[in-house]
């Protein structure tokens, strides 16, 4: 299994990710990384993050506080 994040704008289009696509070997590693990177991703134009396990969407989360 390969865990990845897709970053989207409010309209659902893909936001450009700074630093390239990260791949993780576990859901926990992916979630730890997003916990550290979400503010930079939001500042880079992403509004939400979609966690995927291979091609399956696990969940979507907002990158905005509140």
Residue 66, pLDDT score: 67
Q: Which residues contact 52 (CB under 8 A, 6 or more apart)?
A: 3, 4, 5, 6, 58
- Residue 22 has a pLDDT of 83
Give buried/exposed letters for 22-35 (b at 16+ CB in 10 A, else e).
eebeeeeebeeebe
Strand partners, 62: 48
Is 3:53 a contact under the CB 8 Å cutoff?
A: yes
pLDDT (0 to 100) of residue 1: 86
Contacts of residue 54, Cβ cutoff 8 Å, sequence gap at least 6: 1, 2
Q: Is the pTM of this model over 0.95?
A: no
Quote the mean pLDDT of the chain. Answer: 90
39-64 confidence digits (pLDDT tens)? 999 998 999 999 999 989 999 999 99
């Amino acid at each position: 299994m390969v865990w990845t994040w897709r970053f989207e704008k409010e309209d659902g289009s893909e936001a450009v990710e700074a630093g390239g696509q990260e791949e993780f070997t576990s859901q926990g590693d992916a979630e730890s990384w997003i916990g550290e990177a979400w503010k930079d991703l939001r500042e880079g134009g992403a509004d939400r993050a979609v966690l995927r396990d291979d091609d399956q969407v696990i969940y979507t989360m907002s990158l905005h506080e509140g």
